[in-house]
Amino acid sequence: MEPDLISKIAQMASILEVSGHPKPGNVHRTQDFEDMVFEDFLISGIAIGNTMKKAAGRGLRYTDEDELHKIGLGELIREAVVETNGWVENNTNLGIIMLLTPISAAAGSISHFNGLRDKIHELMLATTPQDAVNLYEAINIADAGGMGEREDLDVGSEKAKEELLEKGINMFDVLEISSSWDALAYELTHKMPVSFEVGYPTFKDLKNTHGINKATVQTFLTILSKKPDTLISRKYDASVSEQVKADAKIILDKGGILTEEGRSKLLKFDQDLMNKNYNPGTTADLTASSLMIGLLEEHWE
């Protein structure tokens, strides 16, 4: 697939995700946070375009197994964060960038959609210690604590970055360490199971019959009903994220956004999460990656 098309799809996935209404506990077209507004996310979705095109181009260029490390996923993630940071003040899309960058690179390097999942994993395994350092820098630029604080290899420590290089710890290794408490790290080190097995099939099944918005919201709700949101877990407690998951399951069992009863409960759920400041931000990131995969398949030639 051409890099131009891949970058457009990445931008669309980002913008469609944030536009999903009512996407509970998150910024959407009728709801802002105090420090981040809907337009910030639209701007961020557009800002990543050039980097996603570059990722796809490098995927197209470096196809031999011994050249995959030259794609520089960590560098690209950092670049996209820096670009976004030049347009908006707060971290709006670090997680989305982390997911969409390897998807873009993989899409650029294969000839058939069916190879996408395995190629993403291959690219992640081929990352380098410098990719890990660049990821650390991206997290710090975005001012996000997504990988958690640790005594060893702490993301905020300059010494940790030196240790990554000295010990040859690549980006895959670093994310694997974090995978027990961070859903995005797990996703990127386990062949993106939520995106490919939960989110993408849901979006694909509903998009043509119910439209993009309902498909997006139902995808979000389906992911939330199956996987505790680790952003909520880290900020509050695992019991809180489990309760949010259970509440999402109840709404989904009533039809979610696809039925009148489900939509009524969904609107109340949205306000309840907002009132409690419970933000399923990781679920939003996984929704964006699910949408990108679905749109890639739809436009694959």
For the chain, which residues make up each domain, given as ranges? Answer: 3-299
Q: Is the pLDDT of residue 146 over 50?
A: no
SS3 at position 300: coil
| Cα 76 off chain centre by | 15
pLDDT band for 159, please (50, 70, 90 cuts): confident
Which residues are within 8 A (CB) of 132 and not within 5 positions of it... i.e. 6 or more apart? 74, 164, 169, 170, 171, 173, 174
- 3-299: what fold? Triphosphoribosyl-dephospho-CoA protein (1.10.4200)
Q: What are the tens digits of pLDDT across the range 216-266?
A: 999 999 999 999 999 999 999 899 999 999 999 999 999 999 999 999 999
Q: What are the tens digits of pLDDT across the range 14-71?
A: 999 999 999 999 999 999 999 999 999 999 999 999 999 999 999 999 999 999 999 9
Place of tokens 């996984």: 286
Specify the pLDDT at position 155. Answer: 64
Residues forming beta bridges with residue 28, ordered by sequence position: 31
Evaluate whether 105 touches 76 at the Cβ level (below 8 Å). yes
Q: Is the pLDDT of residue 151 over 60?
A: no
Cα distance between residue 47 and residue 57, in whole Å: 17
Q: Is the pLDDT of residue 148 over 50?
A: no
Q: What are the tens digits of pLDDT across the range 130-140?
A: 999 999 999 99
Radius of gyration of the chain (CA): 18
Specify the pLDDT at position 17. Answer: 98
Average pLDDT of the segment spanning 107-134: 97
Specify the pLDDT at position 109. Answer: 97
Q: Is the pLDDT of residue 144 over 70?
A: no
pLDDT band for 160, please (50, 70, 90 cuts): confident
Q: Which residues of 111-148 are buried (b: 16+ CB within 10 A; e: fewer)?
A: eebeebbebbbbbbebbbbbbbbbbbbbbbebebebbe
pTM for this prediction: 0.95
Please give the DSSP secondary-structure letter assigned to residue 199.
Answer: I
